[in-house]
Amino acid sequence: MSHLAHTVAVRATGVDMFFGTPENRVVALKQADFEARRGELIMLVGPSGCGKTTLLSVIAGTLTPQAGAVEVFGQRLDGLGQEALTSFRRRHLGFVFQSFNLIPTLTVAENVMVPLLIQGRPYGEARDRAVAILDKVGLKGREDGRPNALSGGQQQRVAIARALVHEPPLLICDEPTSALDKDTGAQIMQMVRDLSRSPERCVVVVTHDHRIFRFADRIAEMEDGRISRVVDDPRLLDTSQL
Amino acid sequence: MYRLALNMLFGDLAKLAMLLCGLAFSALLMAQQSSVFFGIMSWTYTPMVNIRAQVWVSDPMVEQVNDAKPLRDTDLGRVRSVDGVAWAAPLHTSFVQARMQDGNFKLITLVGIDADTFAGAPAVLSQGRIEDLRLPDTVIVDEWGAALMGRMGVGPDGQPRNTPLKVGDTFEINDIQARIVGICRVKRAFTGGPFVYTTYDRAKGYTLGARRTLSFMLVEPQKGVPPAELCDRIERDTGLKAWTSDTVIWNWGERSLARNTFWWFWTNTGIPFSFGTAVLLGLFVGIAISGQTFYSFVLENLKYFAAIKAMGAGMGVIARMLLVQAFTAGLVGFGLGAGMAQAIGRVMIEKGMPPFVMYPQILWATFALVLGISLVSALIGIIKVSRVDAASVFRG
Ligand SMILES: Nc1ncnc2c1ncn2[C@@H]1O[C@H](COP(=O)(O)OP(=O)(O)OP(=O)(O)O)[C@@H](O)[C@H]1O
Ligand SMILES: [Mg+2]
């Protein structure tokens, strides 16, 4: 049991999340349980509207559920105030969004520097680290260009650099490949896998894209606001529903 | 993060230009409108500017320079005997009708000055000599009056043409001939039409029927006697009212006739109201434009601020980023607008129309308002961002 506690990165138990008014209530998560381990890349899959993004938001500390316990790297999130949650995200989380969310008026390097600057790192140090990680994602020489001058795949690589530049233990990706073509999507996932691989880091990827299932260590299937099963091999999944 | 905030602001030059245009335009509008307003208001004490004297003495009931209550000629002697008076000269001012050669009447401001000292004489003559006022039936007309009272005729090109009055031309004041011996350049007045200068004694003739003609006394203090102190002495010894002539309307105090005139118009006429409405309109338009442009800037960046928030930036950091952006934009916008207002003002001052007085206070007030607008816009942005759900970043 103590061995298990050590390997657990994220644990959510009995999470309820409703939206809307009491009369017009949308149930997004219903007694959802979820667990992710250190050192693994786990994918969250399921039909549209089943609650994947909502669960991701809950473990990212951007949504506070109505019920349930959430623990991320030993830190209980339920009961934390906004300020503590913000500080938690600053130290523990990296985000990759479906729509990249790069700031178009900043340079590529400045975009990557954001998490470090939020942590209060000096500009010079932040820039050095941003340039170094941009090199790793294959964007050497593009540091001072604008994100809009890059292709979709390149922009998502900038986003990966931004998500990892401050070495967060938890990397969260929501549909990272759905705005990209098949080959580019595979490249991006390969990059996420290569760069985030670390015995301490946990990567949670929400996706519809069965072509990238092979990059997962485990796959958690969601249905109607809860995890219905977890498999180790994507071939065990019935992808026709997705 | 503040450097990033600035780079975000300067990153999109087209949008920045829009934002700065809005802010600059509102600063321009506010500075320009209020300068014209104070310019027009400065016309109320024009006689103080044109008739230069250190100390003015009037009837105790006088409240402003355009409304003289005539004094007795003997009052001159009483003032002259006050300790500290170097000299005192009589001054007549009145609004009278002048009849042009073509039979038309024009309202003029008749100014009668002491023929011995020429105290109160215009500073600049573009034609003629002031000494010629000692000749019989002579007057000096200001340039505006010369044009206003000029003869309409047909030019060589067949177009109607106005020939301004010049030295040697004549007109009539109360059936008495007035022969022009000089054209002077003076400031325009709010009331009463162009300035026509003559001697004090001749002014009595031109205003036949008027029982008293001594409107004001112009007094020069002896060396070393401060005007304000001399005013005290004159009031104490004669019971008349004495004024200083400084035209800085902001300096509070009782003594300045210009200031009292300004505030008399301010409280007793609708002028401040009607022009004030224009100023306020400029203000509102300015606030609307710059508030709107900054607000749309915030809206366009809202999703990025939401992302920054999700990545763990607290509202304090985001608020300061928005404030840095707003104040920088406000500062630059103000600089541009105030610069433009000053440039336009220079042209206006050269042309004399419309009147333009840009007090430093106007610039300070505009500065404060533009920064106020920026602050409000930033606050709206801050509220907007604080309401944004950090979770919204996951939605496309
Ligand atoms: N902010 C919100 N307000 C109201 N309802 C919401 C909100 N966010 C999510 N929902 C609802 O909760 C349910 C789960 O939404 P969620 O976005 O988690 O699904 P998803 O599995 O990510 O779907 P997709 O695959 O389409 O992204 C849906 O019915 C959705 O309409
Ligand atoms: Mg989703």
Q: State how far the Cα of A114 lies from the Cα of A127, in Å rounded to an integer.
A: 10
pLDDT single digits (tens) A74-91: 999 988 888 899 999 999
Q: Does the beta carbon of A74 sit less than 6 angstroms from any atom of ligand 1?
A: no
Q: Indicate the pLDDT class of residue B258, thresholds 50, 70 and 90.
A: confident
Residues B33 and B62 in one domain: no
Q: Residue B344: inside a domain, yes or no?
A: yes
Question: pLDDT digits over B279-330, tens only?
Answer: 788 778 777 877 787 788 888 888 888 889 889 998 999 999 999 998 998 8
d(CA B373, CA B379): 10
In this predicted structure, what is the pLDDT of residue A30?
93
Q: Is the pLDDT of residue B57 over 60?
A: yes
Give the model's pLDDT for residue A239: 61
Find which of A124-133, B203-212, B366-375 is predicted with most confidence, using mean pLDDT.
A124-133
Task: Examine the domain organization and report whether B54 and B36 are in the same domain.
Answer: no
A28: pLDDT confidence band, cut at 50, 70 and 90? very high
CA proximity to B41, closest of B347, B302, B358, B304: B358
pLDDT, one tens digit per residue, over B66-99 is 888 888 888 989 999 999 999 999 999 888 988 8
Q: What is the tens place of the pLDDT at every residue in A6-18?
A: 689 999 999 999 9
How far are the Cα atoms of A10, A169, A204 from residue A6, in angstroms, in the given order? 11, 14, 18
Torsion, CA B100, CA B103, CA B109, CA B111, rounded to 10: 50
Q: Which range marks the domain in which residue B136 is found?
A: 50-246
Output the six-digit token pair for B383. Answer: 């509220």
Tell me the C-alpha distance between B206 and B93, whole Å: 11
Yes or no, beta carbons of A89 and B312 under 8 Å apart:
yes
* Residue B375 included in any domain: yes
| DSSP calls for B88-128 | EEEEEEEEEEEE-TTS-EEEEEEEEE-TTT-TT--SEEEEE
Tell me: do B174 and B226 sit in the same domain.
yes
Task: Look at residues A183, A47, A162, A167 and name the one whose alpha carbon lies nearest to residue A107.
Answer: A162
Q: How far apart are CA A176 and CA A52, in angstroms?
A: 13
Which whole number is the average pLDDT over B232-240? 92
Is A25 domain-assigned? no
- Under an 8 A CB cutoff, do B312 and A86 touch? yes
Q: pLDDT above 90 covers what percent of chain A?
A: 66
- In tens, the pLDDT along B202-228 reads 988 888 767 788 999 999 999 999 988
Nearest CA, atom 26, ligand 1 = A48
> Do B77 and B31 lie in a common domain?
no
Q: Which amino acid is at B274?
A: S
Domain membership flag for residue B263: no
Q: What's the mean pLDDT in A24-46? A: 93
Going from the Cα of A224 to the center of ligand 1, the distance in angstroms, rounded, reads 11
**Do B181 and B320 lie in a common domain?**
no
Query: Looking at the 3D structure of chain A, how many domains does it have?
Result: 1
> Is there a single domain that holds both residue B241 and residue B321?
no
B57 and B193 belong to one structural domain: yes
Q: Residue B141 to residues A184, B146, B150, B153, B311: CA-CA distances in angstroms?
A: 87, 6, 11, 21, 76
Using an 8 Å CB-CB cutoff, list chain A residues near B309.
86
pLDDT higher for A156 or B52?
Answer: A156
Q: Is residue A71 in a domain?
A: no
Contacts of B308 (CB under 8 A, 6+ apart): A114, A118, B318
A90 belongs to a structural domain? yes
Query: Which of B115, B138, B113 shows the shortest CA–CA distance to B128?
Result: B138
Domain end among B189, B212, B246: B246
User: What average pLDDT does the segment B152-181 reach?
Assistant: 85
The strand ranges marked E within B186-314 are: 195-199, 216-221, 241-244
Q: Which residues pair with B256 in a beta bridge?
A: B244
**Ligand 2 ion: Cβ-proximal residues, 5 Å cutoff:** A 53
Q: Say yes or no: CB of residue A178 within 6 Å of ligand 1.
A: no
Model-level ipTM above the cut of 0.90: no
Residue A141 within a domain: yes
Q: What is the pLDDT of residue A2?
A: 44
pLDDT in the model for residue A134 = 94
pLDDT of residue A37: 93
Which band of pLDDT confidence, cut at 50, 70 and 90, is reported for residue B49? confident
Q: Which residue matches tokens 């009463």?
A: B192
In angstroms, the CA B32 to CA A228 distance is 70
Which domain CATH number covers A155?
3.40.50.300
- What percent of chain B shows pLDDT beyond 70? 97
**Do B235 and B349 belong to one domain?**
no
pLDDT band at A1, cuts 50/70/90? very low
Torsion of CA B109, B114, B115, B119, to 10 degrees: -90
What local confidence, expressed as pLDDT, does residue A158 receive? 95
Does B220 reside within a domain?
A: yes
**Angstrom distance (rounded) from CA B359 to CA B32:** 11
Q: Which residue has the higher pLDDT, A100 or B199?
A: B199
Give the C-alpha separation, B41 to A76, whole Å: 69
Task: Determine if the peptide bond prior to B227 is cis (ω within 30°).
Answer: no
pLDDT of residue B48: 83
If you write DSSP's letter for every residue of B58-78 in order, what string do you get?
Answer: E-TT--STTS---B-THHHHH
Is the pLDDT at A238 greater than 50? The verdict is yes
Strand, helix or coil at A192? Answer: helix
A1 in a domain, yes or no? no
Whole-number pLDDT of residue A22: 84
B194 and B242: one domain?
Answer: yes
- How many domains, chain B? 2
| Residue B251 within any structural domain of the chain | no
Query: Please, what is the average pLDDT of chain A?
Result: 89
> Is residue A175 assigned to a domain?
yes
- Average pLDDT along chain B: 86
Q: Inspect the interface and report whether the beta carbons of B11 and A62 lie closer than 8 Å.
A: no
Question: Residues A45-64: what's their mean pLDDT?
Answer: 92
Which residues are B100's β-sheet partners? none
> What is the 3-class SS of B340-393, one letter each residue?
HHHHHHHHHHHHCCCCCCCCHHHHHHHHHHHHHHHHHHHHHHHHHHHHCCHHHH
Q: Tell me which residue has its CA closest to atom 22 in ligand 1.
A: A53
**Least confident residue range of A209-223, B17-31, B229-243:** B17-31
In a domain, A89, yes or no: yes
Q: Kindly state if the Cβ of A118 falls inside 6 Å of ligand 1.
A: no
In a domain, A196, yes or no: yes
**d(CA B309, nearest CA chain A) in Å:** 8
Among A43, A59, A74, residue whose Cα is nearest residue A177: A43
User: Residue A240: its pLDDT value, please?
Assistant: 58
B116 and B30 in a common domain: no
- Residues of B in Cβ contact (< 8 Å) with A95: 307, 310-311, 393
pLDDT per position as a tens digit, B329-369? 889 999 999 999 889 888 887 776 777 888 888 889 889 98
A63 lines ligand 1 (CB under 6 A): no
Does a structural domain hold residue B257?
no
Is the residue at B377 inside a domain? yes
pLDDT at B253: 64
Does A49 sit in the ligand 1 pocket, CB within 6 Å?
yes
Are the CB atoms for A180 and A117 separated by under 8 Å? no
Distance A107 CA to ligand 2 centre (A): 28
CA distance A153 to B317: 31
Rounded Cα gap, residues A49 and A52, in angstroms: 7
Q: Which pair of tokens denotes residue A48? A: 């549209």
Structural domain of A202: 39-63+80-241
* Structural domain includes residue B259: no
B224 and B330 belong to one structural domain: no
Residues B9, B142: one domain? no
